[in-house]
Amino acid sequence: MHELVTFVQVVDAGSFSAAARQQGMTPSAVSRQVARLEKMMGVALFQRTTRQLRLTEAGLDVLEHGRKMVAAARATLQAAEGHAGAPRGLVRMSAPKAFARHVLQPVLLQFLARYPEVDVHLMVVDRLVDPLREGVDLVIRLTDTPPPGMVARPLLPVRQCLLASPDYLASHGAIDHPEDLMSHSCLTLGEEERDDRWRFLSGSQVAEIIVTGRCAVNHSEMRLAAIEAGLGVGCVPDFVARESLAAGRVVRLLPEWTVDSNYQGVAYLLFPASRHIAPKMRVLIDHLAGALQSPPS
């Protein structure tokens, strides 16, 4: 294999002496390695002249296959290096859209600046991702029941906030119980027929109502903008609402009630169980856990 690598380097460098300089060898040592390769193969690889090297027909064939073998060997070494030593290589992960935009993005930017040898391919989707079938290393999923057979590291709790603007409440009246929402304009997702059925929990109490409204939008930031504009009452995840609540653009309603929604629970970091976790994955897992396990102030 050393002889084949040397042969490829001689061709790429254009001469025995240039290849020798690249390898830290003498030109005679490089020439001997190529001669051994020719002897093993039983063919001449070069037509040697006083001015330049020319490949024989056999040499051209060997070069084509040799480059593929050298590239494969280098890729194998790089793959092995990704599982030992310093963190480097590509990590593929997925996360829900709103969570990725509001929570994950700044943390990932910090990580990429801190680990310049690690690349991240982030797949932003709201559907359930199967890490084994889809070749994803890390999955962030919002759930109260992480799937069996996976390592599940909790990152932070996620809850839905029921919101309205101060101007809307001033003109439409206070909301003290979920049933009051039936007389208000409510913003739904508009994805499924049951999206107009809102369910609330408070201890042992359960309230399920049918709401109506002028606007339905399945994008949390656009729904928040509609709420701020006074179009009605709506729900968005707490991490989407945080800035608007702090600025007083919206008011949280019925805080003693929990909105029963699929888009809440705990944000878990999921990955297949393994005795050996590559350094590139370990540093990303630790970085995400360190940055997100305590909710932002």
Domain ranges of the chain: 1-81, 87-158+265-293, 160-260
- Block mean pLDDT (10 aa), the chain, length 297: 81 82 83 87 81 82 82 63 74 94 95 96 91 88 88 92 97 95 94 90 94 93 96 95 96 94 88 83 95 64
pLDDT at 83: 55
* pTM as predicted: 0.64
160-260, CATH topology level: D-Maltodextrin-Binding Protein; domain 2 (3.40.190)
What are the pLDDT digits (tens) for 148-161? 888 999 999 999 99
Strands 118-124 and 150-158: unpaired
Asked if domains 87-158+265-293 and 160-260 share a fold, the reply is yes
- Grouping H, G, I as helix, E, B as strand and the rest as coil, residue 215 is coil
pLDDT at 289: 93
Rg, the chain, Cα only = 31
The CATH label, of 3.40.190.10, 3.40.50.450, 3.30.1300.10, 3.30.70.3450, for the domain at 87-158+265-293 is 3.40.190.10
Which CATH number is 1-81 given? 1.10.10.10
Q: Which of 94, 80, 77, 86 is nearest to 118 (CA)?
A: 86
DSSP 166-206: HHHHHHH----SGGGGGGSBEEB--SSGGGGEEEEEETTEE
Strand stretches in 130-172, DSSP E: 138-143, 150-158, 160-164
